[in-house]
């Protein structure tokens, strides 16, 4: 991640496979900066097909705004594979984006100045079609 706002908002919060934690403790967050990014190391060049982004829940969802997805090979070749926009204050996602290529690194980039990267989760898939979306949360139980 380009920076970390506080120790409890580390990049690992966005790649821990936990989307059910909708509290603020379940998100990663950068400082307010130019071009913040979250870079995921896949360990080796792998065939990527889809990237799924879960925005934070609650306030500040508009921070995601316009974003770009980049793939980078172990040899350093970078390719933009997708982009998207979260327009407004209610866009939690998930956003499923086709992002096809071979990459060791997958990067979510928020271009521009005075941006804050503040996400809940990012998944990278190597499937030929997108996975099924998660089921909606259960309604609260009445006593």
- What DSSP string runs through 6-60? SGGG-GGGGSSS--S--SGGG-EE--SBSS-EEEEEEEEEEEEEEEEEEEPSSTT
Residue 141: predicted pLDDT: 64
**Nearest Cα to Cα of residue 124 among 80, 57, 69, 55:** 69
Q: Tell if the pTM clears 0.85, that is, is over it.
A: no
Tell me the average pLDDT of the chain: 87
**Nearest Cα to Cα of residue 45 among 90, 110, 89, 104:** 104
122: tokens are 């990012």
pLDDT in tens, the chain (143 residues): 998 888 888 898 888 888 876 666 688 999 999 999 999 999 999 999 999 999 988 888 899 999 999 999 999 999 999 999 987 777 888 999 999 999 999 999 999 999 999 999 999 998 655 556 666 666 666 66
CB atoms < 10 A from the CB of 36, how many? 24
Residue 7: predicted pLDDT: 85
pLDDT of 80-103, one tens digit each?
999 999 877 778 889 999 999 999
Contact 14, 53 (CB under 8 A): no
Determine what percent of the chain is predicted with pLDDT higher than 90: 58
Any idea how long the chain is? 143
């Amino acid at each position: 991640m380009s920076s970390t706002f506080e120790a409890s908002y580390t990049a690992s919060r966005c790649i821990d496979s936990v989307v059910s934690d909708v509290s603020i403790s379940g998100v990663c967050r950068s400082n307010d900066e130019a071009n913040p990014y979250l870079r995921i190391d896949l360990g080796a060049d792998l065939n990527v097909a889809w990237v799924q982004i879960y925005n934070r829940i609650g306030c500040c969802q508009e921070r995601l705004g316009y974003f770009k997805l980049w793939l980078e090979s172990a040899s350093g070749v970078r390719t933009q594979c997708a982009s998207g926009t979260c327009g407004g204050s209610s866009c939690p996602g998930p956003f499923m984006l086709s992002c096809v290529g071979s990459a060791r690194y997958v990067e979510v980039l928020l271009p521009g100045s005075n941006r804050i990267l503040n996400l809940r989760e990012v998944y990278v898939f190597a499937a030929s079609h997108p996975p099924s979306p998660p089921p909606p949360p259960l309604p609260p139980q009445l006593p």
